[in-house]
Structure 1
Amino acid sequence: MKKIILSLIVTIMLLPMSTKADEGMWFLMFIERLNHRDMEKLGLQLTAEEIYSINHHSLKDAIVQFNGGCTAEMISKDGLVLTNHHCGYDGIAELSTPEHNLLKDGFWAANHADEKKPSSLYVRFFVRMDDCSKRILAIVNPSMSEADREKAINAEIAKIEKENNEGGKYTVSVRPFFQGNEYYYFVYQDYKDVRLVGVPPESLGKFGGDTDNWEWPRQTADFSMFRVYADKDGNPADYSTSNVPLQPKHYLPVNLGGVKEGDFAMILGYPGRTNRWMPAGGIEQNVKFAYPAWVEGAKTGMDNMKKYMEMSDALRLVYASKYASTANYWKNRQGMIDALSKFGTAQSKAVQETKFDKWANKPANKAKYGNVVSTINKYYSLTNEKSRHDNYLQQLFRTSSFGTIGRTLGKQLDTYVKADANKRKDLAPKITEMAEELYKDLYVPAEKDILAAQLKLYSTKSTGYAIAPMVKKIGDENNNDFVKYVNAAVDLSIFSSLDKVKAFLQVPSQGMLDNDPLYALSNDMLTHFASKSDEIAKAQNDYAASFRLLVEGLRESKIGTIKYPDANSTLRLTYGKVRALPADKRNPVAINNYTDLDSQVKKYKKGDEEFDLPVKVLEMNKSKNYGRYADKDGSLHVNFLTDNDITGGNSGSPVLNGKGELIGIAFDGNIEAMAGDVIFDKKLQRTINVDIRYVLWVIENFSNAKHIVDEMTLVK
């Protein structure tokens, strides 16, 4: 009997551990107060000081923001940086040519001199952060308009940034949190000499392509490797052959022991954006208006890029990066629609807001909070159709280089025309360089088709909100067929080629620029996109103030249970454990928390763009040539699951064990929990990671680049 009771007690004690994921993207400076004890219970063996310290090296010194959008980690004393394949994609594509296609074939530098420098790539180290809420909120008051409030805050932010940048040594960023109820400043140091060390062939780095994106099970080598260089004193410096590999304050040891169900897992990184505080009306607007337009616009752009990418390797390289980025968010937004609809997220939020509204209209709270919910709902009702319109237009801007020509190269030419002769001498080389960069990634026949297709979609689908006047006029005159107009406009435009732009610089003319058909069309759309009626402007002002009050009131009333601020590309920590998804026939392994090389080979389709594999991989798997990276079960683990709370921007983030050792690289989430940016699903939310042993196997065994692995500190 005692054994039965004991067994029941143990089962009950273990139950929460096996069913609860650990929600939250946490500030490092508050780990000691908010999280450290819970993390220790899960398996953390580090002190809070070893994670975040201002005066001593700590884990935070090994984590960098990669090129402003992803995360990466230092993994050697000589500045070696590890991130995702898709994070390094732009730079690798830039360094590739049809004759030497690094994306397709892979690349590993034999030595430092062989490493390759993309034109624009940087990493950002986090130095420290601090709370400046009291200082900033002391200069604003409830009677201010949102514009006046923003102006006052921006002025104070400029002072704080100047006070902390040490004469330009550091980049300082002051960011709002909890919808402007708190403010913190972050001090960073940027290094701009970052060079490609290596990347697996695309057949491994993008294995599964769009089909497997956001899906589990996954089998992909989603990683690439770079090196940070500095001057001889370790300071940031522009690219120079005299620069030396950076000696980072801290780098991550690499653990070869593998993982098992329930192991502690911690991720540090730069999550881009979550909307966990978003009101019900915002969720409904996204599901019914904004995201469907995003999905349709993205697919239109992708389809028109794809047909040219399939014509040649050269054109594939031209559009590879833009296509990959568009495809990633296309599937993400469709997944968001499906998940938010399935789980009735807007309805759940509405229930919370009804409860809040009841609290807000109590006598003690009514003056401050009484109109908050009704004001927010009024705003969304007023802007639903505009959000649909804006998303169609945004996808036109994102996929068509000519769509935004008015604010890019066109704006520069306008400045040039208006300048005097001396100023023009200074501007001409910069504009020429900008134009050369633009036309390097632009193929005119493709751009014609993309623009014409997006204009047709925009003019025919954005029916509930007035479209740009010039687009409407052209559409009305051509039965919404824009092909003929776009072809003629591009052929006549000074923006149709680099040579025409250079000729314009020789003989500038304001009249020629103003009457250019592409320039006029782009400016018409950009101006319309930025415009808003007085009614919408007022509603937007009232909404901003009310949303801030909603978040403040939810926290004050305890009706809102979230303890952390939304992600906004600032360094955060999330912790949890290795955790399988519910049993799934799609995954052939016994425990559904990892995949192995056998399962990757089973997906192999010879010649298929998404599922082809190098012959060498097939041969090595057949002979079980896994070397020292085989798991205890004899297989080579490829990807694994944890229940960490991450989002876009965490791509490339290190997955760490309780000792702060690298066990994997985060690269994706799962489609079942695609609503995760809005609401955290404790049962289904997962992070998909590359097993670090697979990374090392690809480098050492498959690519014969053991000298790269030898740089790292390996722990068994």
Structure 2
Amino acid sequence: MRNALISAVVLSSGVVLASIDAHADEGQWQPYQMPSIAEKLSERGIEIPAKQLADLTQYPMNAVVGLGYCTASFVSPQGLVVTNHHCAYRAIQYNSKKEHNYIADGFLAKSKDAEPSAGPNERLYITEAVTDVSKAVTDNLSQDPLVRYEEIQSNRKSLIKECESDKNYRCSVRSFHNGLEYYLIKQLIIRDVRLVYAPPKSVGSFGGDVDNYEYPRHSGDFTFLRAYVGKDGQPAAFAEDNIPFTPKSYLKINADGVNAGDGVFVAGYPGSTSRYRLTSELQFASDWLYPTLASRYQLRIDTIKAMGNADGEVAIKYAGTLASMANRMKKYNGLLDGFRATDITGIKQNREDNFLKWLTADKTYQSYQAQFDQLESLLDKKRTGMQSRHYFENAQSSALLAAANKLYRLSKEKAKPDSEREEGYQERDMKMFKARLKRIDSSFDISVDKTLWLQDLNAYMGQDNRVNAFDAMLNFDDKTVTLSDKLDGLYSLTSLTDQDKRLAWMQADAKTFETSADPFIRLAVALYDSNMAQEKEKKTLLGELSQARPGYMKAIIAYNKANGWPVYPDANGTLRITYGMVDGYQSRDALYKQPFTRLEGIAAKHTGVEPFNAPKKVLDAIAAQRYGTHKVDSVIKDPSSWICRLFSCLDKPEAFNSVPVNFLSSVDTTGGNSGSPVFNGKGELVGLNFDSTYEAITKDWFFNPTITRAVHVDFRYILWMMDEVDHADNLIAELELVRN
């Protein structure tokens, strides 16, 4: 009866909270755009001035940092950083051994001298400046597609080189609106990152793959790191006598959190969305790309799990890889389910048809019709190329072959002036190149690598797009020796499993590679011409697309503006802001999902078997109702308000009576936003973004405000874990806690 009533309220109100307009809360906005949406922010109850959010030198934006694949934020003047547990998984894995498995047991450094390195590859990136360089990148480009592509890259590299005159900065030039605009991003690099506090996996990933993208959730997906620098205050590589970094600002944490209906915003580094892609691109993803990728990931997941169950050392080494694959796998399945449940292809086709009618009618943009037709033709060519290359690229998936390929390519690139080298092979890239080669040891096992590679080779042999050089080197036609035995020979004879010898190849010239007897090096040399030919095809196509896509985007932007729709670039890994409100939603099973979950939900889900195996100390604290100062009586500001009708406070407005664990909001996020700080209207930290609901996965292609919800760790739960469970008093003392 209660659910029926809630559903009725939601439906009769036109989904009151979520559907203020057709594009409510949509947008992954560049910070400079915030003043243009100041009115919308104010409507959501966000009090911090939009002009302040646009300024990367001011609080809170100068406290938001990137990890290169996730987001984090400074929360103390001593360089303490908070992010998601799954974002710090590599750091936890790096420090885990059989004798101290921090993945299973968690980790807490009670003093700074007990904080270990998060690993040689871990970095923090602080965005200090974003500059429009569109003219410098795109002026006077050749009409020849390949030359045009190379000119764009050359212009980008010149800007990057000038920007990186200070070695402490990492710069990049990113394309926005599919090549219509380019921005130069300048980021300070912190090279010494250390592990400070991580809950066990049974907290940080409570519910595991089963609960991934699901709701209600009860995940403590948080971890604390710390940034260190040299004694002079400048970024430096790990050294025992380095000191904590002093950030320009750090986030205040509101210990009272948020309530249902409160406005919130999120800042972070969303990875990739496809909202401006054509319907044909969505159809291809739905029909071929996602099913093909999902099938391969599932096979690899099953294999790693089985081998990890048989060998604990393998389980530790591949824990991060497995978690990443499982997350992608569920996302692909969610996308496919979403495409089936909602006719997103039909919706996009309808919008595209309307756009084309407008294009034909508007004299200003009629000339773009030819570019649109050309774009469709190029996209068809792109799809054909992806399908023909897919199995050959996968057939090179061995970690050792991938390393050999990169090392031989490096020897070729080093023969060129640095400015002419391919990105990834310039002098600026060598520290990270070396770190990646080192990191192989922490996530590599010969038996696993061989088994996964064998699966990809069998798939390659079962299709028609074969490469002669590859077939000849592995002699697939020789049936007297099994492919498995052939691979055993490669692994037994290579020296690339030795880190020192692997690193030594960075100094070798091309001739040394070409005369080597190492089987993986020989294979890389044999495949080089084929790989380069395919790369040239891709670059030529990208050059053609760099002419067709910007014109299409100009017309799309004009069309959206004419309709009063939001105009923001697709996500591309750069700093963005999105806003919304704390809000539940009507799920696909017709139940209304309330926006907050409680501690008691952990105990209710607990089975003692992974992934629902909450630690005893957590269960004991819940059973004893040791809430401390973190208990919340109600998540509704005004129990007499109409908003209360949407929640279980219908009869008892004070009934929450627990510590909030996770909560939902309508902010517009995607991969890369993991670890992003969730702010209240005053710009105070109230949570960490870590997931989306299953129904919302398709938002990468189409934003539906009715069901699009992001899932956050409530900071009141983090504080409860620190205070009542793990007694991280030293860290709590560093935080600046405020109350309403």
- Give the letter for the 1:316 counterpart: A
Q: State yes or no: 1:212 paired with 2:235.
A: no
- TM-aligned CA deviation for residue 147 of structure 1: 3.0
Alignment partners' CA distance in 2, 1:63 and 1:410: 38
Aligned-pair identity in percent equals: 28
1:101-116 aligned within 5 A:
101-116=101-116
Q: State yes or no: 1:692 paired with 2:723.
A: no
Alignment partners' CA distance in 1, 2:582 and 2:115: 35
- Give the letter for the 2:58 counterpart: H
Tell me the equivalent position of 2:448.
446
Tell me the equivalent position of 1:140.
140
- Give the letter for the 1:604 counterpart: H
- Give the letter for the 2:194 counterpart: R
- What do the CA deviations read for 1:393-447 (whole angstroms, capped 9, x no partner)? 555556x313414324565799999xxxxxxxxxxx9999876643443221222
Provide the TM-score with structure 1 as the length reference.
0.86
- Give the letter for the 1:112 counterpart: K
How many residues align structurally? Answer: 687
1:89-168 aligned within 5 A:
89-117=89-117, 118-137=119-138, 139-140=139-140, 144-165=143-164, 167-168=166-167
- TM-aligned CA deviation for residue 377 of structure 1: 2.7
Task: Describe the SS at the equivalent of 1:711.
Answer: coil
Q: State yes or no: 1:669 paired with 2:683.
A: no
- TM-aligned CA deviation for residue 28 of structure 1: 1.1
Change (3 A) 1:184 1:613: same
Change (3 A) 1:41 1:358: closer
Tell me the equivalent position of 1:3.
none
Contact 1:414 1:513 in 2 (8 A): no
Alignment partners' CA distance in 1, 2:449 and 2:667: 40
Contact 1:220 1:638 in 2 (8 A): yes
Question: Which stretch has the larger CA shift, 572-581 or 291-300?
Answer: 291-300
1:395-410 aligned within 5 A:
400-408=398-406
- What do the CA deviations read for 1:48-84 (whole angstroms, capped 9, x no partner)? 2432336x63211110012x11100111111110000
- TM-aligned CA deviation for residue 523 of structure 1: 5.6
Change (3 A) 1:634 1:478: farther
Contact 1:287 1:341 in 2 (8 A): no
Alignment partners' CA distance in 1, 2:502 and 2:162: 43
Change (3 A) 1:245 1:132: same
Change (3 A) 1:539 1:159: closer
Change (3 A) 1:553 1:466: farther
Change (3 A) 1:111 1:357: same
1:548 to 543, 547, 550: 550
Alignment partners' CA distance in 1, 2:438 and 2:168: 31
Change (3 A) 1:328 1:226: same
- What do the CA deviations read for 1:77-136 (whole angstroms, capped 9, x no partner)? 111100001111111111111101111111111111111112232111121223233444
Tell me the equivalent position of 1:313.
312
- Give the letter for the 1:679 counterpart: F
Alignment partners' CA distance in 1, 2:470 and 2:715: 54
Change (3 A) 1:585 1:154: closer
Alignment partners' CA distance in 1, 2:337 and 2:113: 49
Question: Which stretch has the larger CA shift, 703-712 or 16-25?
Answer: 16-25
Tell me the equivalent position of 2:226.
227
Change (3 A) 1:180 1:416: closer
Change (3 A) 1:312 1:700: farther
Q: State yes or no: 1:626 paired with 2:627.
A: yes
- Give the letter for the 1:629 counterpart: H
1:346-357 aligned within 5 A:
346-357=345-356
Tell me the equivalent position of 1:423.
none
- What do the CA deviations read for 1:286-307 (whole angstroms, capped 9, x no partner)? 1112222211121222222222
Contact 2:130 2:183 in 1 (8 A): yes
- Give the letter for the 1:581 counterpart: Y
- TM-aligned CA deviation for residue 642 of structure 1: 0.6
Change (3 A) 1:131 1:622: same
Tell me the equivalent position of 2:645.
none
Task: Describe the SS at the equivalent of 2:580.
Answer: strand
Task: Describe the SS at the equivalent of 2:404.
Answer: coil
2:25 to 4, 18, 22: 22
Contact 1:403 1:451 in 2 (8 A): no
Contact 1:264 1:577 in 2 (8 A): yes
Contact 2:687 2:713 in 1 (8 A): yes
Question: Which stretch has the larger CA shift, 127-136 or 204-213?
Answer: 127-136
Alignment partners' CA distance in 2, 1:432 and 1:660: 39
Tell me the equivalent position of 2:615.
614
Alignment partners' CA distance in 1, 2:268 and 2:206: 24
Alignment partners' CA distance in 1, 2:514 and 2:310: 35
1:359-508 aligned within 5 A:
359-360=358-359, 364=363, 368-393=367-392, 400-408=398-406, 437-460=439-462, 462-463=463-464, 465-466=465-466, 470-471=470-471, 474-478=475-479, 482-495=483-496
Tell me the equivalent position of 2:573.
569
- TM-aligned CA deviation for residue 364 of structure 1: 4.6
- Give the letter for the 1:580 counterpart: G
Alignment partners' CA distance in 2, 1:644 and 1:433: 35
Contact 1:382 1:536 in 2 (8 A): no
Contact 1:272 1:567 in 2 (8 A): yes
Q: State yes or no: 1:711 paired with 2:734.
A: yes
- What do the CA deviations read for 1:478-507 (whole angstroms, capped 9, x no partner)? 499732332233334444666986999999
Contact 1:181 1:548 in 2 (8 A): yes
Alignment partners' CA distance in 2, 1:140 and 1:593: 53
Tell me the equivalent position of 2:76.
76
- What do the CA deviations read for 1:184-243 (whole angstroms, capped 9, x no partner)? 222221111211111001111111111211111211111110111223453322323333
- Give the letter for the 2:190 counterpart: Y
1:585-596 aligned within 5 A:
592-596=594-598
Provide the TM-score with structure 2 as the length reference.
0.84
Change (3 A) 1:125 1:541: closer
Change (3 A) 1:516 1:654: same
Task: Describe the SS at the equivalent of 1:404.
Answer: helix
- What do the CA deviations read for 1:125-174 (whole angstroms, capped 9, x no partner)? 1212232334444x235x62333333333444344445545644533322
- Give the letter for the 2:614 counterpart: L
- TM-aligned CA deviation for residue 537 of structure 1: 7.2
Question: Which stretch has the larger CA shift, 570-579 or 625-634?
Answer: 625-634
Alignment partners' CA distance in 2, 1:133 and 1:211: 45
Change (3 A) 1:222 1:340: same
Change (3 A) 1:534 1:663: closer
- Give the letter for the 2:173 counterpart: V
- What do the CA deviations read for 1:365-404 (whole angstroms, capped 9, x no partner)? 6884232333233234344354245444555556x31341
Contact 1:361 1:369 in 2 (8 A): no
Tell me the equivalent position of 1:424.
none
1:646 to 656, 661, 669: 669
Alignment partners' CA distance in 2, 1:702 and 1:479: 61
Task: Describe the SS at the equivalent of 1:406.
Answer: helix
Task: Describe the SS at the equivalent of 1:310.
Answer: helix
Tell me the equivalent position of 1:258.
257
Alignment partners' CA distance in 2, 1:268 and 1:605: 36
Contact 1:390 1:529 in 2 (8 A): no
- TM-aligned CA deviation for residue 267 of structure 1: 0.2
Change (3 A) 1:210 1:395: farther
- What do the CA deviations read for 1:501-535 (whole angstroms, capped 9, x no partner)? 69999999958865544444456667545544999
- Give the letter for the 1:132 counterpart: V
Alignment partners' CA distance in 1, 2:157 and 2:508: 40
Tell me the equivalent position of 2:642.
none
Task: Describe the SS at the equivalent of 2:300.
Answer: helix
- Give the letter for the 1:646 counterpart: T
Contact 2:179 2:549 in 1 (8 A): no
- What do the CA deviations read for 1:293-334 (whole angstroms, capped 9, x no partner)? 211121222222222211233221111111211221122122
Question: Which stretch has the larger CA shift, 168-177 or 704-713?
Answer: 168-177
Alignment partners' CA distance in 1, 2:52 and 2:38: 11
Contact 2:407 2:506 in 1 (8 A): no
Alignment partners' CA distance in 2, 1:165 and 1:504: 27
